[in-house]
Amino acid sequence: MMLIKNARVIDPSQNLDAERDILIENEKIKAIDKPGSFDSLKIQNAVDAKGLIATPGFVDVHVHLREPGLEHKETVKTGTTAAVHGGFTSVASMANSDPANDNARVTRYILERSCEAAMARVFPIGAVTKGLKGEMLADIGLMVEAGIRAISDDGMPIMNSLLMRRAMEYAKMFDIPVISHAEDLNLSQGSPMNEGAVSALLGYSGNPNASEEIMVAREIALARLTGARVHIAHVSTKEAIAQIKAAKESGVKITAEVTPHHLCLNDEFILSGKHTCSHSHGKTDYKMAPPLRSPADQTALAQALESGLIDMVASDHAPHGCVDKEVEFELAANGILGLQTTVPLLLGLVHEKKLSLKRMVESLTVAPAKLLGISEIGTLKPGSHADITLLDLSEEWTLTLEHLVSKSKNSPFTARKFKGRVKKTWVGGQLKYDSSK
Amino acid sequence: MFPESLSRLKAVLTTRDLNSEQIEGFLSAASQIKKNPESVAQTLKGKTILQFFVENTTRTRMSFETAVRKMGGMNVGFATASSSFSKGETLLDTVRTIRQYGVDAIVMRHSSGESPKFIHENLNLPVINAGDGQHEHPTQALLDAFTLQEVWGSLKNKTVLILGDILHSRVARSNIHALTKLGVNVILCAPNTLLPKDLSLFPKVEVTHKLDEVLSKADAVMCLRIQFERQSQNYFPSKHEYRHFWGLTVERAAKLKPNTYILHPGPMNRGLEIDSEVADSKHSLILKQVENGVWVRMAVLGGILR
């Protein structure tokens, strides 16, 4: 048995925000009660968390672990190590490995690798179409039997509406969500950044907000038609937020996520960013898909997260090596690391009063756990997994390259000063990260 | 000859980053070089300039190479039409490698925006941007301003109409910054499809798609090249229709003020964006632009390398 004492426990799944002791037994939560309640048990293995915040271990529904096939960028081991360093105890891995996770053999391989090497729980996401090609459905049902929790072609959006309809109808039988990277590829025309004043100035072709708005509208229409659950990945535009609001009000089964970088950055960073790329923090670390949008979109995203219109935060952790990022802006790979910076960035928003602590925790626990359909994570209710994250709200620190335990270093946030830090992470009652060590 | 304002420059990447004093410094140096080229015949002696052109081009490269030769420097060349080099080497590794041969500066043309800046900031070498993607072409804007200054004396309060594919034009971007810094009123005219939607980060300019309404305001018309592939990308329906609405035709030229000058950065599509009669008229500065390109590039090379 193990005890975490005197923590301020924030668990939105049971509407709890109070000082509590947490009792853990056999990798599960045994009980939560007022401080001192378990003192009579005389537990040797006790952690005093006075002044710290304990939450259910965080859940990230959008992570690229890169295994199999892209192990030079990240592996199950390094990616999940980054996860627990960032307070995440469960991650859902996107299907764009090489080969893609489009059949049960690959799903089983990822789960085997997770058993052998993972520091956090891994829930594979299956491909919607074979080889992410947008042509033929992948073995969705067989992958569900093997363990996938959602399907998505992520960065390879399905342009064929009939195929997407079929995918939703099919996924509905297995009660898994279809995750959509909403981008009209004809309209975005491979542009390296947002269309706006900055793209005009720099002469880059621009990806307009409308490319996201159009596809979100299509996904809503198809979800309404099929009754399937659709989840909009990394919402980046105020127009998409408006669509999601209307869809939710009309009863469509839709959820949405936002990334910390779309909450904390905008396309003006591309203007000021330096091109120097001593392994990280170059201008290309501001390049992602969807692109960083305008400051107005950035503001709208934070408001939508706080109001609950956007259900959850996902990191879109996308490791890339130097050779993918130390290149011309237009040729650079999309995406940045996220697992270790998501929580500190969100705590920054909490300090700026743009986000409540309750909504922050909710968006990292109950909401993503519900999307994946797993009741034993994202909560501290007795009987659930003893996955716990311990936070210090006020510790000030600076992120350096050395902190990044991911195999890749593509983060625009190195050298950034943070207030608030992940102190300890337990997965199934096992201490997987301790900031003091 | 090269004013103090230029000596701090380690690169010329954009006209956006140059202040009016620096722009005027380059123009004044170019003017002195044009009068007395011998005075700079040894300025680049012992210096090696890498002409690094990762895009099809003839005139800009020849102009820069001529400028280097006239100043006693040595050119080494590297040209490829493709940005994906053989053997998969990255741009940064290619330039790192070439630098080891001993290079004092790089003149760089590249199809990807900001790549000269990328090289400059990473390798700490003097770089002159000879055109990067759709971003900027600063020496073209300087030579355009120089050419106009020769005929006008001062550019202040003159009106220059930039006509054509603004969206994809690095020449237009560099000219908007350079000309407005010299006191010019700039008018942009193009079909809506070939105009950026949001110009709020640019200096104030007038924007229109109605060419006939602005012709009479112009003291000079800078006509841009229309690339044929824009038609297949549906930026406009046909060459015929483009010429009908936006071509600088003989009929339109007649509506210009009598002393309106005509510029074109080349290469021209005669009969599409500009009629031959207009391109070859006595108010055309097009060949002057080519000649002045050499003097202006000498001023730029001398300004950052002397």
Q: How far is CA A26 from CA A33, A386, A387, in A?
A: 18, 9, 12
Residue A275's pLDDT band (cuts 50, 70, 90):
low
Could you say which DSSP state residue A177 is in?
Answer: P
Which helix H or strand E contains A194, and what residues bound it? strand A193-194
Rounded CA-CA distance A75/B23 in Å is 52
Q: What is the pLDDT of residue A282?
A: 78
The verdict on a CB contact (< 8 Å) between A197 and B198 is yes
Q: Is B58 helix (H, G, I), strand (E, B) or coil?
A: coil
pLDDT confidence of residue B82 = 58
Per-residue pLDDT reduced to its tens digit, B233-258: 899 999 999 999 999 999 999 999 99
Question: Quick one: pLDDT at residue B3?
Answer: 85
Q: Report chain A residues whose CB lies below 8 A from the CB of B92.
A: 326-327
Does the pLDDT of residue A359 top 60, yes or no? Answer: yes
Residues B72 and A338: their CA atoms lie apart, in Å, by 53
Q: Which of A399-403, B76-80, B288-292 comes out lowest in average pLDDT?
A: B76-80
- CA B275 and chain centroid, separation: 22
User: What are the DSSP calls for A328-362, one per residue?
Assistant: -GGGSPP----TTTHHHHHHHHHHTTSS-HHHHHH
Question: C-alpha A97: how far from its chain's center?
Answer: 17
| Chain B residue at shortest CA distance from A275 | B118
CATH number of B138-289: 3.40.50.1370
**B107: helix, coil or strand?**
strand
Q: What is the mean pLDDT of residues A211-238?
A: 98
Nearest alpha-carbon partner for A261 in A234, A280, A239, A240: A234
Instruction: Check CB contact of B203 with chain A, cutoff 8 Å.
Output: no
Going along chain A from its start, the domains and CATH numbers come out as: 2-53+386-394+403-434 (2.30.40.10), 57-372 (3.20.20.140)
Res A273 pLDDT > 80: no
Tell me whether residue A230 is exposed, middle or buried, using C-beta atoms within 10 angstroms of its C-beta: 0 to 12, 13 to 18, 19 or more.
buried
Structure tokens at A146: 């093997």
User: Which tokens sit at A425?
Assistant: 């992470």
**CB A339 within 8 Å of CB A60:** yes
Which pLDDT belongs to residue A229?
98
**Residue B231 — pLDDT band, cuts 50, 70, 90?**
confident
ipTM here: 0.93
B197 touches chain A (CB under 8 A): yes
pLDDT mean across residues, chain B: 94
Active site residues of B: 59-60, 87, 109, 137
Calculate the alpha carbon distances from B259 to A66, B27, B143 in Å: 65, 23, 20
What integer is the mean pLDDT of B34-46?
97
**Is the Cβ–Cβ distance between B47 and B37 less than 8 Å?**
no
- Distance between CA atoms of B136 and B140, rounded to whole angstroms? 9
* pLDDT (0 to 100) of residue A78: 98
- Shortest CA distance to B225 belongs to which of B151, B286, B179? B286
pLDDT, tens digit, for every residue of B166-189?
999 999 999 999 999 999 999 999
- Give residue B229's pLDDT: 75
Percent of chain B past pLDDT 90, that is, above it, reads 83
Which pLDDT value is given to residue B206?
Answer: 98
* Chain B contact for A190 (CB, 8 A cutoff): no
Rounded CA separation A432/A63 (Å): 19
Mean pLDDT along residues A289-300: 98
Decide if A197 and B199 are in contact by the 8 Å CB cutoff.
yes
* pLDDT over threshold 60, residue A279: no
pLDDT for residue B295 is more than 60: yes
- pLDDT at position B89 is 81
Closest CA to B230 of B185, B155, B168: B168
pLDDT, tens digit (0-9, with 9 covering 90-100), for A369-408: 999 999 999 999 999 999 999 999 999 999 999 999 999 9
Q: pLDDT digit string (tens) for A141-189? A: 999 999 999 999 999 999 999 999 999 999 999 999 999 999 999 999 9
A275 contact B CB<8A: yes
Which structure tokens are listed for B293? 């390109």
Query: Is the full-model pTM beyond 0.90?
Result: yes
pLDDT number for residue B99 = 86
Confidence check: pLDDT of A277 > 60? no
Quick check: A69 and A404 in contact, CB under 8 A?
A: no
Token pair for residue A63? Answer: 């992570």
* Cβ contact, residue pair A330, B113, below 8 Å: yes
Q: What is the pLDDT of residues A23-54, one digit of tens each?
A: 999 999 999 999 999 999 999 999 999 999 99
Please list, in sequence order, all residues whose beta carbon lies within 8 angstroms of the beta carbon of residue A306, skipping any fewer than 6 positions away. Answer: A354, A355, A356, A359
Counting Cα atoms < 13 Å in the Cβ hemisphere of B159 gives 17
Closest CA to B9 of B294, B298, B301, B296: B301
Chain B residues with CB-CB distance to A328 below 8 A: 83, 91, 110, 112, 114-115, 118
* A77 to A110, A317, B252: CA distances (angstroms): 11, 14, 69
Domain ranges (residues) in chain B: 4-136+293-305, 138-289
State the pLDDT confidence band at A261, using cuts at 50, 70 and 90.
very high
pLDDT at res. A262: 98
- Residues with Cβ within 8 Å of residue B250, at least 6 apart in sequence: B275, B277, B278
State the nearest Cα–Cα gap between B78 and chain A, in angstroms.
18
Give yes or no on whether B4-136+293-305 and B138-289 have one common fold. Answer: yes
Q: How far apart are CA A162 and CA A159, in angstroms?
A: 9
Q: Report the percent of chain A where pLDDT is more than 90.
A: 96
| pLDDT band at residue B71 under the 50/70/90 scheme | very high
Here the tokens at position B11 are: 């690169």
Strands A58-63 and A28-33: unpaired
Cβ A327–B91 below 8 Å, yes or no?
yes
Residue A403, classified by CB atoms within 10 Å of its CB into exposed (0-12), middle (13-18) or buried (19+), is middle
H-helix or E-strand spanning residue A206: strand A206-207
CATH number attached to the domain at B4-136+293-305: 3.40.50.1370
Q: Which of A122-131, A307-316, B55-64 has the lowest mean pLDDT?
A: B55-64
Determine which of A193, A195, A202 to mutate to test the interface with B (most B C-beta atoms within 10 Å). Answer: A202
Q: What is the model's pLDDT at position A4?
A: 98
Instruction: State phi, psi for A418 to the nearest 5 degrees.
Output: -115, 150
Judge whether residue A263 has pLDDT over 70. Answer: yes
> Cβ–Cβ of B198/A205 closer than 8 Å?
no
* Average pLDDT over every residue of B3-26: 93
Cα A250 vs. chain centroid, distance in angstroms?
Answer: 26
pLDDT, one tens digit per residue, over A7-31 is: 999 999 999 999 999 999 999 999 9
Average pLDDT of the segment spanning A68-83: 97
* Residue matched to tokens 């680049």: B44
d(CA A247, CA A224): 9
Q: Per residue in B84-114, pLDDT tens?
A: 555 578 888 888 888 888 999 999 999 999 9
Answer yes or no: do A276 and B122 touch at CB < 8 A: yes
pLDDT value at residue B86: 55
All residues of chain A having their beta carbon less than 8 Å from the beta carbon of residue B110 are 328
Instruction: State chain A's mean pLDDT as an integer.
Output: 96
